[in-house]
Amino acid sequence: MSVQAGVVFLLTFSGFSVLADSSLTFPENARNGARIVSGWEAEEGQFPFQLSLRMVSPVGAVTACGGSIVHPEWAITAAHCTATRISVVIRIGAVNLTRPYSIFETTEYYNHPLYNEAMQGVVQPNDIGVVKFNRKLVFNDRVQPIRIHRSADMNRNYAGIRLTASGWGLTWTQGSSPENLNWVYLSGTSNFECLSAFGGSSIIQSSTICARGYNETTQSICQGDSGGPLTVVEEDGQLSLVGVSSFVSGTGCHTDFPAGFIRPGYYHDWYLEVTGINFDWDFEEPEPEPVPESESDSESESESETEESLESNESDSDSSESDSDSENSESSESNEAESLKILKPVIAY
């Protein structure tokens, strides 16, 4: 694949600078708008943590994004989705958007302090935010939280690992938005490979995770998928949220370039500061299964019988050894006497 590095220029704000790279764009703005590209339709309950967000701007414009439930009162999404918006309409438990489990509105969200909302139209690092529901969700088979990637693995290299992305992006080039949730497998790429693909863009940082087509080059995220989840099945067999959809190549969604996600495991201290909740975690060691009391008694009796048997065998063995020693002693003395008779000296004449 040839690298098509775009023009970059320096922007400075809030005391630090980033490179705005025209080879990168938000999924909403990518040329040849497409969907969760080359994926499949989700089934009811397949992604119970997935949210559909509709953000309303001060002038009434509406944009669409995704998000993930991480707590009965909190969700995670991309900062560029909620920045400068006055309200967020949330659909939960939805696969088909016309049949959500619940729909409500909130006005409370918090974007990471290193994300500059005044430059919302520019791809930035730290593109992550949390949304607070104006209620406490009741979980069921259609509405469930997903755990945030743990901080201990925040720098883990997922190159070649199968990941999953989901969302309600457009179905194909210049197509219409689907009512049904779509999902796709992606293959994780190293940050080095992602940097190479985007000409060394400073947007690709340690807090970035990239992924490209799993078994087809067109597989990717796209329009309407920003803020949505990138997940992996961990060693304990459970899902973790390892990425928040952030950007794609400016050449289009279904071109052979990686898509970019923000690693949520980088921000546990900030979540705690904003929400008062510690979302970090660690693998639990499996506890040994308790032995039923009846089996324990049986094992104790068996051990006692075994010990008695061993003691009996040892006693018989000692008795046998004693008799054998006595016989051996008598035999030895007899042989010794015979030897003396044979060896008795005689006078030679």
Question: Domains of the chain by range and CATH?
Answer: 34-275 (2.40.10.120)
The answer to whether the pTM exceeds 0.85 is no
Distance between CA 218 and CA 37 in Å, rounded?
6
Structure confidence at residue 293 (pLDDT): 64
Nearest to 259 by CA among 88, 59, 30, 92: 30
pLDDT value at 4 more than 50: no
- Average of pLDDT values for 137-151? 98
Structure confidence at residue 336 (pLDDT): 43
pLDDT value at 345 more than 80: no
Strand ranges in the chain using DSSP code E only, listed in sequence order:
8-13, 16-21, 24-25, 40-41, 50-56, 62-71, 74-77, 87-92, 102-106, 109-111, 129-132, 147-148, 162-167, 182-189, 208-213, 229-233, 239-249, 259-262
Give yes or no for a contact between 78 and 128, defined as CB atoms under 8 angstroms apart.
Answer: yes
Task: Decide which of 236 and 306 is more confident.
Answer: 236
Structure confidence at residue 344 (pLDDT): 34
pLDDT value at 330 more than 70: no
pLDDT value at 41 more than 70: yes
- Average of pLDDT values for 203-226? 89
Distance between CA 114 and CA 10 in Å, rounded?
17
Structure confidence at residue 250 (pLDDT): 85
